């Protein structure tokens, strides 16, 4: 989700959208344009890339209009502006024109930091649009998407959707839109399964779930399907690592209610219940063996081996055997 500063007026003279998540950047622009057009249906919108904003262009775009129309000027990839154009923008920040909203989209890295600092110093409204690299962030995004349209999805459904779709926020947002348009009432895991079963079966987390449950044949089938459909091997090793670590964390934790364990371990309560079911048959030695297998597979898919698929298959089989280690000699 995009995060905003205290100045949350989309018609503020300057909006600074910072980050590299394309969907959130586009939404920041759309919010400003929608507010401007709600104020003046004839609002003129100019959407420019950094190379289109040459020295002097901003002055032309922000000069007074005979018709006193509202205007929105969007500048994408502002960190790539030329030095002379940055001087123009900084000068404008000191005396922004009335009825004009300037929207600067900036990646937020070191490049062009002077412009970023100048906009902040000038009191620009800021919208944070960071890449969502953590599964927990994408899960929170899906929940927010349901809330934004006044609908609800169960925790299991939200997780299943993230597992099935992956890291593309546009696809996650589109999936939520499709589900709420097609299905009445609460969206549950069964509904997500009906719509996205093929993708869910091919997801890296399905591979991990089947492996830590000791279901080697199903894990290998899901692994081969995942690789065939383009899932990156490194995503699969990441999911395997998360699955095994969750087993280890919960097996060494003190007993208690899911809510208490969730706070202690940093997991949602529903996941505590799932991991509890998966950890049957595991021993501390089994967890250690599985973690070594994941580490070897990770090295194999990152260039340490000739065949990433073989490295993953070997890890999946080892993890599945470790999941059945309790009671074996």
Confidence of residue 12 (pLDDT cuts 50, 70, 90): very high
Residue 3: predicted pLDDT? 55
* pLDDT tens digits along 25-75: 999 999 999 999 999 998 999 999 999 999 999 999 988 766 667 899 999
Helix or strand holding residue 3 (H, E): strand 3-4
Mean pLDDT of the chain: 86
Mean of pLDDT values over 161-170: 81
Q: Over pLDDT 90: what percentage of the chain?
A: 49
Helix or strand holding residue 33 (H, E): helix 22-39
Confidence of residue 295 (pLDDT cuts 50, 70, 90): very high
CA atoms of 226 and 109, how far apart (whole Å): 33
CB of 293 within 8 A of CB of 211? no
The token pair that represents 287 in the structure block:
């967890």
Q: Give the number of residues written for the chain.
A: 329
Helix or strand holding residue 160 (H, E): helix 155-165
Residue 283 has pLDDT above 70, yes or no: yes
Residue 289 has pLDDT above 90, yes or no: yes
CA atoms of 15 and 32, how far apart (whole Å): 8
For residue 3, list its beta bridge partners.
128
Residue 6: predicted pLDDT? 46
CB of 172 within 8 A of CB of 135? no
Instruction: Identify which of 307, 285, 284 has the alpha carbon closest to the alpha carbon of residue 297.
Output: 307
8/74: higher pLDDT? 74
Residue 34: predicted pLDDT? 93
Lowest mean pLDDT among 65-74, 180-189, 277-286: 65-74
* pLDDT tens digits along 125-146: 999 999 888 888 889 999 999 9
Using the structure block, give the residue that is written with the tokens 């591979």. Answer: 207
User: What's the 3-state SS for 71-134?
Assistant: EEEEECCHHHCCHHHHHHHHHHHHCCCCCEEEEEEECCCCCCHHHHHHHHHCCCEEEECCCCCC
For the chain, strand residue ranges (E) read 3-4, 14-18, 44-48, 71-75, 100-106, 125-128
* pLDDT tens digits along 255-277: 666 666 666 666 666 677 778 88
């Amino acid at each position: 989700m995009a995060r905003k500063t205290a100045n949350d007026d989309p018609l503020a003279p300057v909006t600074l959208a910072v980050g590299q998540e394309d969907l959130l950047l586009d939404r920041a622009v759309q919010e400003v344009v929608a507010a401007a057009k709600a104020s003046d249906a004839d609002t003129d919108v100019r959407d420019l890339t950094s190379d289109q904003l040459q020295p002097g262009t901003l002055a032309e775009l922000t000069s007074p209009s005979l018709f006193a129309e509202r205007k929105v000027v969007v500048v994408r990839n502002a960190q790539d502006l030329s030095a002379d154009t940055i001087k123009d923008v900084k000068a404008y920040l000191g005396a922004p024109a009335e009825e004009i909203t300037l929207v600067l989209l900036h990646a937020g890295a070191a490049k062009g930091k002077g412009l970023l600092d100048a906009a902040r110093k000038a009191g620009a409204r800021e919208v944070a649009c960071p890449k969502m690299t953590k599964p927990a962030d994408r899960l929170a995004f899906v929940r927010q998407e349901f809330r934004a349209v006044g609908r609800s999805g169960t925790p299991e459904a939200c997780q299943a959707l993230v597992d099935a779709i992956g890291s593309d926020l546009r696809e996650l947002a589109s999936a939520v839109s499709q589900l709420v348009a097609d299905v009445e009432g609460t969206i549950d895991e069964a509904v997500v399964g009906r719509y996205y079963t093929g993708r869910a079966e091919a997801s890296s987390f399905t591979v991990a779930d089947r492996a830590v449950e000791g279901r080697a044949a199903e894990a290998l089938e899901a692994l081969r399907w995942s690789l065939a459909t383009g899932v990156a091997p490194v995503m699969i090793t990441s999911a395997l690592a998360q699955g095994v670590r969750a087993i280890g964390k919960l097996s060494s934790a003190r007993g208690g209610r899911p809510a208490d364990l969730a706070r202690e371990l940093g997991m949602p309560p529903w996941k505590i219940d799932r991991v509890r079911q998966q950890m049957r048959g595991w021993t501390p030695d089994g967890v250690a063996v599985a973690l070594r297998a994941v580490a070897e597979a990770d090295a194999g898919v990152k260039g340490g081996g000739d065949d990433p698929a073989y490295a993953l298959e070997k890890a999946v089989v080892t993890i599945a055997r470790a999941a059945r280690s309790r009671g074996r000699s």
